[in-house]
Amino acid sequence: MAVRELAAGPGRILVAVYSVFAIAATGRSLTQLLLQADRAPLAYSLSLVAAVIYIVATACLVIGGPRARRAAVAACGIEAVGVLAVGTLSLVAPDLFPDKTVWSHYGQGYAFLPLVLPFAGLWWLHRTGPPA
């Protein structure tokens, strides 16, 4: 299989979804941190981390190329670990997450898309990668 452009075909859907999550998570986390940081500082800070990861993943999928591909794999991997860790933490220590965030409860407030998205991204990066 030849190397395919990351933002082509189904990659366009990934770019669109990552873009929406980047904008939504950035706006929500900054608003929460600026207006009510004392309510749930850990939760809101982790949402900002998620937003940065979504921005990096979006940019890397659009840019393409070997370097961007490696950065996208790293972003999706960190994102997968983050959503699993925060999702679990939000269940075992709900007092740390008084408000829903993008990764709390495995992205339940976002139809579990935050849980599926990093694995879809990793699958796409593997599928479009250079032949072994």
The full 3-state SS of 18-67, as one line of letters, equals HHHHHHHHHHHHHHHHHHHCCCCHHHHHHHHHHHHHHHHHHHHHHHCHHH
User: How is the chain split into domains, by residue range?
Assistant: 10-127
C-alpha–C-alpha distance, residues 104 and 106, integer Å: 5
Burial of 95 (0-12, 13-18, 19+ CB in 10 A): exposed
- Cβ–Cβ under 8 Å, residues 76 and 125: yes
- From first CA to last CA, the distance across the chain in angstroms is 9
C-alpha–C-alpha distance, residues 101 and 97, integer Å: 8
- Cβ–Cβ under 8 Å, residues 54 and 22: yes
Q: Tokens 């190397």 label which residue?
A: 3
Task: Indicate the SS3 state at residue 104.
Answer: helix
**What is the residue-level pLDDT of the chain in tens, covering all 132 positions?**
445 688 888 899 999 999 999 999 999 999 999 999 999 999 999 999 999 999 999 999 999 999 999 999 999 999 999 999 999 999 999 999 998 899 999 999 999 999 999 999 999 999 998 765
